[in-house]
Amino acid sequence: MPSLLQRGWSWLRAPANELAFAMRAVLRPSGRPAQLPHEAKTDAFSHLDPARAQAAAGIAAALAERFDLAALAARSTQAVWAGNLQHLACLSHLAAGLEVPHGPDGVVRAVDAGCGDFHYATALQRWLSRHAGLPRPVVLRGIELDGFVPHRDGSRRGGRARAHAALAATPGSEVHFQAADMTGLRLPEQDVVTAFFPFLSSYPCLRWGAPLSRARPRRFVQRAVATVRTGGWLLVVNQTAEEFAKLQHLLAGEPVRLLARRSWLCDLVPWHAATQGQVGSLWLRG
């Protein structure tokens, strides 16, 4: 829970966030080509005690085999690797015993709203494809409002997102990135719409460096629901129980019902203390 001082300080950033976003949106700088750096995974679980680290390595190996993570393992930092493992472990539990919705042609069409740099594109694609039953073709699109945020290597968020999307694609499946405002997009109906850590309140939005004027939680959630086809899923991961309560409130009048809810607490990531309180929820569109 941020202190009063932290909240106050974040508000001082609001004008700078607006200005920087407006300039990026007008100039649309392409930046350097995005490279996806690689790190060995040998000490990926050094934040855990030896017994737990061994167990975590076993879980990682099982996830890597089940979800075909070889390409990601060969081209990711430890942080990106761990983040993908966290989402796969938690997604698998959240939807245990359920089949991912798909079209009559067997293809799963999905949109991730507010995908940031889409560093978890592989986890999402693999889960949609392989969660239950035979692997299915997937058409996944990550949508991000602020695609031109600079990265420290000189590339831009959108460039990195495209690189992560390309890495996640498999023969027969497509993964795309689009820089756009989800609240203004008219997309074809999807089998699954996901949102990982959407801004439902002002503090995380300001801390992230995003423009508060564009954080419209009700519209964002309504658009996300409207994009899901009848019988499809809305999947949301929130930072805190408070945010999950806000999500429930925003969804109260929408044609969805809660299918499952689960903590996103996970010690596979070195920042596991920060995962305390994170909540994933799965909603069925009626």
Ligand X SMILES: C[S@@+](CC[C@H](N)C(=O)[O-])C[C@H]1O[C@@H](n2cnc3c(N)ncnc32)[C@H](O)[C@@H]1O
Binding site for ligand X (CB under 6 A): 113-116, 143-146, 181-183, 196-199, 204, 208, 210, 214-215, 220
Least distance in angstroms from the C-beta of 58 to ligand X: 26
Q: What are the residues whose beta carbons fall under 8 Å from the beta carbon of 26, sequence distance 6 or more?
A: none
Q: Which residue has the tokens 């942080």?
A: 79
Residue (132 or 274) nearer to ligand X, CB = 274
Quote the DSSP letter at residue 38.
-
- Asked if 122 and 159 count as a contact pair (C-beta separation under 8 A), the reply is no
Least distance in angstroms from the C-beta of 59 to ligand X: 21
Residue nearest to ligand X (CB): 114
Residue (137 or 199) nearer to ligand X, CB = 199
Least distance in angstroms from the C-beta of 45 to ligand X: 21
Q: What is the H or E stretch that residue 176 is in?
A: strand 174-179
Sign of the alpha-carbon dihedral angle for 223, 110, 273, 93: positive
Residue (137 or 244) nearer to ligand X, CB = 244
Least distance in angstroms from the C-beta of 98 to ligand X: 22
**Tokens encoding 235:** 């999947």
Sign of the alpha-carbon dihedral angle for 7, 9, 15, 19: negative
Least distance in angstroms from the C-beta of 165 to ligand X: 13
3-state secondary structure of 172: coil
Residue (85 or 210) nearer to ligand X, CB = 210
Residue (145 or 192) nearer to ligand X, CB = 145
Q: Which of 39, 55, 53, 37 is nearest to 270 (CA)?
A: 53
- Asked if 278 and 264 count as a contact pair (C-beta separation under 8 A), the reply is yes
Residue 261: strand pairing partners? 281
Least distance in angstroms from the C-beta of 6 to ligand X: 16
Residue (116 or 137) nearer to ligand X, CB = 116
